[in-house]
Amino acid sequence: MLKVAQQTSKQILQRNSTKVILCLFSIILLYAGIIGKIQYNNFEKIRIKYQNEVRSSWVNSPDKHPHRMAHYGYIAFRPKSALSVFDYGLESYLGNAIFLEAHKQNTTNFSEASLSTTMMRFGEISIAMILQLLFPLLIFFLGHNVISSDRENGTLKILIAQGLNMRSLIIGKILGVLFVSSIIFIPTFIYSAILHFSISSFNNEWTNFLCAFLLYSISIIIYSCIAVCVSAISNKSKLALVSLIGLWLILFVALPRSTQAFAEKIYPTPSKIAFESGIEEEIIKEGDSHNPDDKHYKNLKDSILRTHHAVSIEQLNFNYAGFQMKEGERISSQIYNKHKQNLNRVFKNQNNLMSYTGFLNPYICIKEISLLLSNTDFETYLDFQEQAEKYRYELAQEMNDLQIKLIPNKKLSDTAKTYSISKHHWATLKDFNYTKPKITNLLKNNQIPILALIYWIILTIVILIVYPNKIKVL
């Protein structure tokens, strides 16, 4: 078996075309890593700059009414994952900053794709993209004729006649293809590790990186097995190559695109206008917290006055307008969160349908697990939105609490300025710091691609046990 592997790798490396392709892959991977590092550094430099400016602007704001500060707002920035240098994932297509203000939940904006040309539609070159999409094609090229060529020139019959069984032959050929593939694969991960840890400390992402290495190691074993098995049943090397290219087009181009379109058809996503209109309509039914004569809030005011045995709000020992704003914020946030959960459920259904195709296509499950390990997946983005919304709500309610405690109920004259409080209160609001979700939680919530990967591992083992006995030598 080892002799077969050694001879196979030697034959593959003797081809001039193999040497050229390996050199081209090395150059592309080197370029992808450099571009990823530059993009990461540029983005983080800009993010840190503007995040500091936002914080400074907030803390140094002059004395104001706290409700005005709530509407002055804050900006939350989404930091890039250090592993995005390896796998961009959805980073370029999702927003990077969100404006946070009272009574309103804004969308995340300033994605790189929205600020780029139409060339972005063709995707970006990352190390993970090359390993996911192009590396299998390389493996198919390396392994398309490892057995079919032996059948064509009569060597296969001689090997079997000398006592070599078909299973040992196939496993030996797979090991030979794996050895040649590892000439690119192993240096790629060493290169990725250097890039990653040049910008990140030695922390728990090391576990993510090792898991990514294991994931892609499994992937090249699966693809090598596919290439060699197709070569084993093909009478001619050209037929094997055409078959593998056709399989690559189906698995890596046609099936993912068609599944994505099908998921959108089965679980349609509401438009932004429809989503926001639904929220607005429900909030209007609950009442306007800025209108003291609103029916809902008039009943609230009457209830508060009765509870405190007061005739008017001027007799209350706290600012009633701030209390009303706090209640309005609570109601509007509940409505928004309900609609957002419904929208996220639609996205979850779409993603689950896509994940189930991982049982038919190893590319899908490998890609999704890679996104999870790199923290560049959609669920991590949703987690950022949830943390930003929580921060927005706390900001608004903290300003409302300041109004309740420090602003009197008695109105000033029409010619006088509105009540203000000291700017020192603004510093009590903590800065927004996004905390990435733990990888264990992400994997726990996305079990379908993991199960699909396990299925492909078991299927590969079963094929290596059963399949060789059914292959004809001639």
Instruction: Say if strands 97-101 and 104-105 run parallel, antiparallel, or are unpaired.
Output: antiparallel
Q: Token digits for 113? A: 């794709």
What is the three-class DSSP state of 290?
coil
Tally Cβ neighbours within 10 Å of residue 166.
Answer: 19
Amino acid, res. 93:
Y
Task: Return the DSSP state at 97.
Answer: E
Q: Give ∠ CA 107-113-115 in degrees, rounded to 5.
A: 85
Alpha helices in 107-204 (DSSP H): 127-129, 135-143, 148-153, 155-161, 166-197
- Residue among 227, 235, 238 nearest 178 (CA): 227
Q: How far apart are CA 408 and CA 63, in angstroms?
A: 16
Contacts of 428 (CB under 8 A, 6+ apart): 398
Is residue 65 within 8 Å of 319, Cβ to Cβ?
no
Q: How far apart are CA 233 and CA 151, in angstroms?
A: 10
Is residue 352 within 8 Å of 439, Cβ to Cβ?
no
- Residue among 92, 91, 94, 120 nearest 108 (CA): 94
Is residue 83 within 8 Å of 59, Cβ to Cβ?
no
Question: What pTM does this model have?
Answer: 0.87
Q: Which helix (H) or strand (E) holds 381?
A: helix 378-406
- Residue among 187, 192, 13, 174 nearest 87 (CA): 192
Task: Return the DSSP state at 48.
Answer: H
- Residue among 114, 74, 73, 116 nearest 95 (CA): 114
Tally Cβ neighbours within 10 Å of residue 138.
Answer: 23
HEC readout, 331-359:
HHHHHHHHHHHHHHHHHHHHHHHHHHHHH
* Edge-to-edge strand ranges of the sheet holding 104-105: 74-77, 97-101, 104-105
The residue behind tokens 């990186």 is 209
The residue behind tokens 């800025």 is 290
Residues facing 101 on adjacent strands: 104
pLDDT in tens, the chain (474 residues): 788 888 888 888 888 888 899 999 999 999 999 999 998 999 999 999 999 999 999 999 999 999 999 999 999 999 988 888 999 888 878 888 999 998 888 888 766 555 554 444 445 789 999 999 999 999 999 998 888 888 888 888 887 877 778 888 899 999 999 999 999 999 999 999 888 878 765 555 788 889 999 999 999 999 999 999 999 888 888 999 999 999 999 999 999 999 989 999 999 988 888 888 888 888 888 877 777 677 778 888 888 888 888 888 888 888 888 888 898 899 999 999 999 999 999 999 999 999 999 999 999 999 999 999 998 999 899 999 999 999 999 999 999 999 999 988 876 655 555 688 899 999 989 999 998 888 888 888 889 999 999 999 999 999 888 877 777 766
Is residue 181 within 8 Å of 142, Cβ to Cβ?
yes
